[in-house]
Structure 1
Amino acid sequence: MSPALVVLVLALLLGIQPVTTDLYLPTLPALTQALGARVSQAQLTLTALLLAFGFAQLVFGALADRFGRRPVLLAGLGAYVLAALGTALAPSIEVLIAARTVQGAAMGAAVMVARAMVRDLYEPAEGARVMSRALTGLGIIACLCAPLGGLVSDLWGWRAALLSTAVFGGLAFALIALRFRESLARPDPRALEPGRLVAAWGGMLRHPVFTSFTALTAAAYALLFTFLASSSFVFINVLGLSKPAYGLVMLWNSLSYIAGTLLCRRWLPRHGVPGTVCRASLLSLVGGVCMGALALAGVQAVWAIVLPLTLVMVAHGVHQPCGQTGAIGPFPQAAGAASALNGFVQMVVAFGVGAWLGVALEEHSTRPLALGIAFWGVMLALLAWTLVRRHGGAQPVANKAARSTA
């Protein structure tokens, strides 16, 4: 595959995540009311999706190491389209939660393979630059998702917005079927042996490079998920924005994220991965603490969230490409399993955040969103300045337990 095609494939596979979440966010208040659901039940349509997303990656990672990336992608994307159709037709909140759970599991195949594919084709340093280019594409997709979701929901209802995810999944399936070439040079015939797989995961969890970058990506995604899961309720129900105006807020955040991916590519050659992450974490810290302080001072205004969040989203555009490629870097022969375990940890943390938000959002205030982002901004700074600074510059050969998967 040409470099341009690789970046396009990565952007679409990684972009399926904001399509599944961001495009759906403007519809949350409307579908909650239409289906007669509570806020905590509506939150389950997001948190259950992410928990299934996390667990499914563990399965898909082993399957992708055993059979290759292409068949796993085709199966996952096919299931994603069917589940997306199910969400659009759901007659009750319970059915919607079930369909979103299946959709999240299927989404795991696309995102896991995308991360593993980068390690198949590139060394970690170059992989971070390629990943940042792909995440720029993801940012462009995310720019369109929330405004499009709000517009489609206003014109044709929330079911039409959910149907849009099936359209995107179908386009991604067609691209993979027609243009994707297998990136795994040597499938591992023993990758599905349970004992060997558990031993490999144990070895990864003991590897300081993997644990450092996985902790970073988990904190970064927890921060992002805090915003995603609470923003529609806060901006629409608490601050009184219309759905199109909320879409513009999401558009601005996506543009900030794109700026972060561009900054990442500029910083990497100068400062290396640890130095780049440390600089970005300062933005996370300043933005998060400012947002939390404004909320505690009783300032409930759109600017009090959007301005600090701009710094946070720029930093997120650095943390994700560096963190994801850094975690998988030591395991070139088990990239699927490493990608899956990294993604699983992220989603477990996000599920915990979602469970807390389901209760906290009953408070008619911006504080759950602001204080959650402040907490994770502080955690990102601590992780970057300790674990990533200490271990991030080393990419040692994977230990014996991890090498046994090769």
Structure 2
Amino acid sequence: MPPPAATALPRSAPSDLGMSPALVVLTLALLLGIQPVTTDLYLPALPALTADLGARMAHAQLTLSALLLAFGSSQLVFGPLSDRFGRRPVLLWGLSGYVLASIGGVMAPSIEILIVLRTLQGAAMGAAVMAARAIVRDLYQPADGARVMSRALTGLGVIACLCAPIGGLVSDMFGWRLALLVPAVFGAGTLALVAQRFGETLPRRNPDALRPGTLLATWATVLRNPVFLAFSALTTASYGLLFTFLASSSFVFIQVLGLSKTQYGLVMLWNSLAYICGTFICRRWLPRHGVRGSVARAAGLTLAGGTAMGLLALAGVVSVAALVGPLTLMMLGHGVHQPCGQSGAVGPFPQAAGAASALNGFIMMLAAFAIGGWLGTRMDGTVMPLALGMWFWSACIAAVAWTLVRRQGGSRGH
């Protein structure tokens, strides 16, 4: 069977499936929000967890990087499965596995077992995030999908706003194990919503999606597509910037700058608020400038923030403001790059949205795994790894936005 072409399939509006647009956006926000719940909420507890389990810094970083590698790799399995059997069954099984792995992590007696359970948690999380991106392509054309994805990522931002403060508060009051229980509760609630209210969105199941020949041909077609490559490069660089911050910020702000867990939670709250503002800017810019113009303007914000952070660190200016101020500009840009990049990457593949979403997610998480390994050996009790790492990724984002996306992003409304 030939690989899927970029032709349109008949698709239903959410109302035709018995779902309101608001329910679709809410469900997407929860499915995408499972990622910051799993990572951001965990960060304030990471130094205490490391000390309590007698772990080395590299092992502590592995609880994040291994989770994200499993998260990216599992999408390569869940994507074709969802093209074959539908989004709903993959979501139900994936969310069930996520809840069980989250509960197991609460009871982990050692860092090694915690790493294994976090890996399983990340693999199950892949079903939720992959399906969310594919659902957007099931229901909407690319230009509309960017706006819907932006609304859903606003919801993700709200969830992320709550994660670090709640994680810091619960960890301070009840210990790190109770902080790890919160994702299980979130996953159970999302599972209940999908099971009771969310219908199948895949217009037509592909009975050949799991055949090795078809699968390889589909992946080859996706990976050769210049639009996919351009937007995947954008999402990878954008997530590389975010993950550099996530993987190092708790140690920098708590151990280097001396903030309490609750104060660190407030820094993360501000970070998420800036991201939410970025998603609103995205929706305002898209009708005026299109996807390419919006991405290019956001890249200017990102590069300005990264350069300011890097130069301040090199000049010896070490303070919360010297990091948070530039970070705000970068998070505004992130709120534009992710919805445009994620919807743009799957846009050319209406008949293989699951596979395209999976490859896009895998590439992002492969980069995150490499960043986690690098940070595990470079954290030296200063702000330099964080500041210089984010400066590097901000430059990558600008280069991609101003070259690859500008050339391959399609028409103004793409």
The TM-score range, normalised by the shorter chain, is: over 0.9
Letter in 1 for 2:300: L
Paired residue total: 396
Whole-angstrom distance in 1 between the partners of 2:371 and 2:234? 16
Correspondence for 2:285: 267
Distance 1:166 1:203 in 2: 37
1:159 aligns with 2:177: yes
Q: Corresponding residue for 1:95?
A: 113
Report whether the alignment pairs 1:281 with 2:287. Answer: no
1:148 aligns with 2:148: no
Residue of structure 2 equivalent to 1:377:
394
Q: Distance in 2 between matches of 1:316 and 1:88?
A: 31
Distance 1:194 1:353 in 2: 31
Q: C-alpha offsets along residues 240-260 of structure 1, whole Å, 9 cap, x if unaligned?
A: 000000000000000000000
| Aligned partner letter, 1:384 | A
Counterpart CA distance in 2 for 1:136 and 1:347 is 21
* 1:191 and 2:209 correspond: yes
Structure 2, unaligned stretches of length 5 or more?
1-18
Q: Choose which of 301, 304, 310 in structure 1 pairs with 2:319.
A: 301
Deviation at 1:140, TM superposition (A): 0.3
Mapped to 1, the partners of 2:312 and 2:272 lie a distance apart of 23
For the 8 Å contact 1:231–1:369, the answer to whether it is kept is yes
Q: CA deviation at 1:199?
A: 1.4
1:82 aligned partner: 100
**How far apart are residue 312 of structure 1 and its match?**
0.2
- Aligned equivalent of 2:62: 44
Match of 2:38 among 11, 15, 20: 20
Deviations 1:375-394 (A, max 9, x none): 00000000000000001025
Return the alpha-carbon distance in structure 1 between the equivalents of residues 275 and 216 of structure 2.
35
Within 2, Cα distance between the matches of 1:365 and 1:199? 47
Aligned-partner Cα distance in 2 for 1:24–1:217 = 23
- Among residues 233, 240, 245, which one is paired with 2:251 in the alignment? 233
Partner of 1:58: 76
Letter of the 2:381 counterpart: H
**Distance (whole Å) between structure 2 residues aligned to residue 176 and residue 360 of structure 1:** 41
TM-score, structure 2 length as denominator? 0.95
1:209, 1:394 within 8 Å by CA — same for their partners in 2?
Answer: no
Q: CA deviation at 1:202?
A: 1.1
**Structure 1-normalised TM-score?**
0.97
1:315 has 2:333 as partner? yes
Q: Which runs of 4+ in 1 moved over 6 A?
A: none
How far is the alpha carbon of 1:292 from its aligned partner?
0.5
> 1:26 & 1:253 partners in 2: Cα distance?
14
Segments of structure 1 that go 5 or more residues without pairing to the other structure are 398-406
Deviates more, 1:201-210 or 1:75-84: 201-210
Of 100, 122, 126, which residue of structure 1 is paired with 2:140? 122
**1: CA distance between counterparts of 2:299 and 2:218?**
30
Deviation at 1:121, TM superposition (A): 0.1
* Aligned-residue RMSD, C-alpha: 1.1
**Alpha carbons 1:238, 1:364 under 8 Å: kept:** yes
Task: State the partner residue of 2:4.
Answer: none
Please point out which of 129, 148, 165 is paired with 1:111: 129
Tell me how far 1:300 sits from its aligned partner.
Answer: 1.2
